[in-house]
Amino acid sequence: MVDGGPGALFGRHPADAHGPAASARTIPAAVLDAVIRQAARTPGKAALIDGTRSLGYRELATLVPATARGLARRGVRPGDLGGVHLDCACDLTLAVHAVAAAGAVPLLLPPGADVAELAGLLVDSQARFLFTSAALSGPALAATERSYVRQVFAFGEVAGATPVAELPVPAPPGEADRPVAGPPHDPALWTPRGRLSHADLLSHISRRAATLQIDGTDVLVAAAAEFARAAETWLGLIHLALAHGATFVAVPGPGGPSLLTTAGRHRATVAVTIPDTLRALAACPTCRPPAGLRVAVIGRPSPQAADTCRRHGWTVVDVQ
């Protein structure tokens, strides 16, 4: 473990750490507004990369409000709950923020959940609509038959579902897009582990930004498989990147060596992982982070792994 505060650790001024989340009152204000500003500065910059899929800042800034208008046109109302059952970071981000911009509340559903678990989560939350994908639609559609869900929106072709590509509605001429959002302590996200308010999510962004000193020059990489049962953490890392104009890259597979390989391929500056993965990487004789990569650990790594990383000269920091 490298000693010293975040400014000493990464050589950046702490005053730049907090970013938009420090003054924002809601997630749409912190993230979507930041996306729109970044799109104006660098419209061609990639916001999200997941395998062969990518979503640029300009595309995301356009699609989120347009998709939110499409949801409203199809009867989605402020306060409604909508299930989000997706495993692609690009699709997940678009769905979550379109739901939020429409004033509804996203319910994150585990991509690997079976029909019974999905149905239980949908019923308990009284979700009224669902986002899924062609790859995950089997259990998702079966679960809706046991729930209150009345509309399904799908990325890709899914029988009986409305394609997400048909949702976007252009803004009326002269009308500015302003996401619908309630007070900071209203629910902003439902997960299998509970509800989180806008204030909760903004606190997470600010705390991690203060530790990692994220800015628009950064590229973050992380493996979804490592956060399969902590979807709010996975989404929070995406929020962290977007709120500061950085690029987020999803690592395919289980993480581990592929985390470092992906980091090298995309010239990442920050790799986010968990203590078990860090321990395995520290014990791997051929696994070495690319030059300049900061390894952020969600949770406290073991003293043995921290000592090994120190001897290797790695830059590692705990991120709670």
Note whether 160 and 237 are same-domain residues: no
Domain-located, residue 42: no
Residues 248 and 165 grouped into a single domain: no
In-domain check, residue 90: yes
Q: What is the CATH number of the domain that holds 230?
A: 3.40.50.980
| Residue 26 resides in a domain | no
Of 10, 38, 31, 13, the C-alpha closest to 216 is 38
**pLDDT value at residue 83:** 98
Q: How many domains does the chain have?
A: 2
- How big is the CA angle at 128 (ends 156 and 55), to the nearest 5 degrees? 35
pLDDT at residue 178, as a whole number: 58
**Burial grade of 89 (CB within 10 A; 0-12, 13-18, 19 or more):** buried
User: Among the three residues 131, 148, 181, which one is the final residue of a domain in this structure?
Assistant: 181
Which residue ranges of the chain lie beneath pLDDT 50?
Answer: 1-18, 22
- Asked whether residue 17 is assigned to any structural domain, the reply reads no
Pairing of strands 294-298, 315-319: parallel
231-243 and 198-212 are packed helices; what angle lies between their axes, rounded to 10 degrees?
Answer: 60
Q: What is the pLDDT of residue 302?
A: 83
What tens digit of pLDDT does each residue of 60-80 get? 999 999 999 999 999 999 999
Question: Do residues 67 and 147 share a domain?
Answer: yes
Report in angstroms the alpha-carbon separations of 55 from 47, 48, 75, 122, 157: 6, 5, 27, 28, 20
The angle, 0 to 180 degrees and rounded to 10, between the axes of the packed helices 33-41 and 57-73 is 140
Give the pLDDT confidence score for residue 24 in this predicted structure.
63
Are residues 139 and 226 both part of a single domain?
no
Same domain, 206 and 271: yes
Torsion of CA 223, 133, 187, 38, to 10 degrees: 60
In a domain, 187, yes or no: no
User: What b/e readout covers 234-251, taking b as 16+ CB neighbours within 10 angstroms?
Assistant: bbbbbbbbbbbbbbbbbb
pLDDT at 18: 47
DSSP state for residue 224 in the 8-state scheme: G
Residue-number span of the structural domain to which 235 is assigned: 6-11+200-319
Kindly state whether residues 249 and 298 are assigned to the same domain: yes
**Residue 307: what pLDDT?**
82
- Tell me the whole-structure pTM to 2 decimals: 0.88
Q: Does residue 278 sit in the same domain as residue 237?
A: yes
Which long-range contacts does 156-161 make (Cβ < 8 Å, 24+ apart)? 158/132, 158/133, 158/134, 161/132, 161/137
Please give the pLDDT value at position 15: 34
Q: What's the Cα-to-Cα distance from 150 to each of 25, 85, 190, 304, rounded to whole Å?
A: 31, 15, 19, 52
Together in a domain, 312 and 212: yes
The three-point CA angle 309-310-316 to 5° equals 65
Instruction: Decide: 142 and 115 in contact? Cβ < 8 Å.
Output: yes
Cβ atoms of residues 204 and 253 within 8 Å? no
Query: What's residue 289's pLDDT?
Result: 84
CA distance 238 to 205: 10
32 and 62 Cβ atoms separated by less than 8 Å: no
How high is the pLDDT of residue 269? 94
What SS3 class is residue 8? helix
In a domain, 189, yes or no: no
Write down the residue that tokens 């509800």 correspond to: 195
* pLDDT at residue 39, as a whole number: 96
Q: Is residue 40 part of a domain?
A: no
